[in-house]
Amino acid sequence: MAQEVVSHSRDHRAEETRDAIVTAARKLFATKGYADTSIRDLVQAAGVTRGALYHHFKDKEALFARVFEFVARETLGITLAAAAHGDNLWDRIRDGREAWLKSCTRPEVYRIMLIDGRSVLSAERRREILGSIGSLESNLIKASIEALMDSGDVPRVVPVEPVATLLTGAFDAAALMIAEADDKEKVRREVGDTLTMLLEALRDYATNLGQ
């Protein structure tokens, strides 16, 4: 029993140390960026030793990947929560889209996920992380299109895969425009309106084909 208590206490301390490192890294990566954040910065901000950091993460990139995953998971939760309460599927898609675009104005999202994420992590690694938490935009968009078809709002006359792929590209481009803009709120509103037009055009086109 005593050994189990000691083991539990050790595991708890290890978890606290890991959480402290990730929390400090998230703040530093969001404000200073990956390249300008040193290991020394990280250990000082987390209040841990260099050895403790390397015990939990083999290098700075591995730590960044964990932070990337954490931010992506949080952003997915925000997006899905926003999309859960609309009166109909179109409203839920719109609300989820707006929540995602609004998230892109936050430094920890646009700096970590959209800017540094693309330069630090390979495309394969990003897909692996995002796929593991179910947040690949193409999967969410594909599921939304299929739900619209199941509800009868969009006739089953449009090919789901090409539409989902093209819309994913549009969402990615919109997010990058926000990330790189000086006036992020202004660009968010503009790209939000543009995505609304694209979705409405899809709905009208599919409806006309189905008649």
Q: Distance (Å, rounded) from C-alpha 32 to C-alpha 49?
A: 21
Token reading at 160: 């789901």
User: Residue 47: its pLDDT value, please?
Assistant: 95
Question: What DSSP line would sit under 24-63, residue for residue?
Answer: HHHHHHHHT-STT--HHHHHHHHT--HHHHHHH-SSHHHH
pLDDT tens for the 211 residues of the chain, in order = 545 544 545 666 889 999 999 999 999 999 999 999 999 999 999 999 999 999 999 999 999 999 999 999 999 888 888 888 777 777 888 888 888 889 988 988 999 998 999 999 999 999 889 888 865 555 677 777 788 778 777 777 777 888 888 888 888 888 889 988 999 999 999 998 998 888 788 777 767 765 5
- Structural domains in the chain, CATH included, are 1-57 (1.10.10.60), 61-210 (1.10.357.10)
User: Residue 64: its pLDDT value, please?
Assistant: 98
Helix residue spans in 85-159 (DSSP H)? 89-103, 107-109, 117-120, 123-132, 137-151
Q: Which single residue is written with the structure tokens 């859960």?
A: 84
Token reading at 40: 């020394």
Q: 3-state DSSP call for residue 112? A: helix
Q: Distance (Å, rounded) from C-alpha 210 to C-alpha 45?
A: 59
**Closest CA relative to residue 18, chosen from 39, 38, 47, 61:** 47
- CA 99 vs CA 5, 191, 195: distances in Å: 44, 13, 13
154 Cβ contact list (under 8 Å, min separation 6): 145, 148, 202, 203, 206, 207
Q: Distance (Å, rounded) from C-alpha 163 to C-alpha 135?
A: 18
Token reading at 3: 């050994």
User: Residue 5: its pLDDT value, please?
Assistant: 45
